Copies of this chain bind each other. A is one copy, B any other.
């Protein structure tokens, strides 16, 4: 029997890829109220969890390169959400810190995660299980990619 040709939805990679875009569409109207894009929001989340990080540290957390982060951080700086300054102890490092304005955004964004979680249509338990499963896939992929 001739197996039918696989379609994009048959691929786990496409399921992940397109669901990422779908999350973006849900977040966009929420984040526009804060003048943040989604990747910028992720940087803010990382800084709300731990302030005063280097570009490299943020890149490790978010799995992004400096070539992505540097322009993004400059835009966050221009908006007045963070400051960027060379570490006097080691001028190679750039330390990124929240401004008061940047820290204050956390309040306004407090309900966003619950709001988006609800939009997934999954119960908290199922959502947690799904996240764990995806993170294990990510870990395996990164190991495979070297």
Residues in A lying within 8 Å of B, measured CB to CB: 4-23, 25-27, 38, 42, 45-46, 48-50, 61-64, 113, 116-117, 119-122, 126-127, 130-131, 133-142, 144-145
Contact = CB atoms under 8 A, between A and B. Distances in A.
Contact of A7 (B8, B49, B119): B49
Interface of A: prevailing SS: helix
Given A26-B145, A141-B22, A45 B15 contact: no
Contacts of A20: 13, 16-17, 20
Contact of A121 (B9, B113, B136): B136
Nearest to A133: B130
B113 A61 contact: no
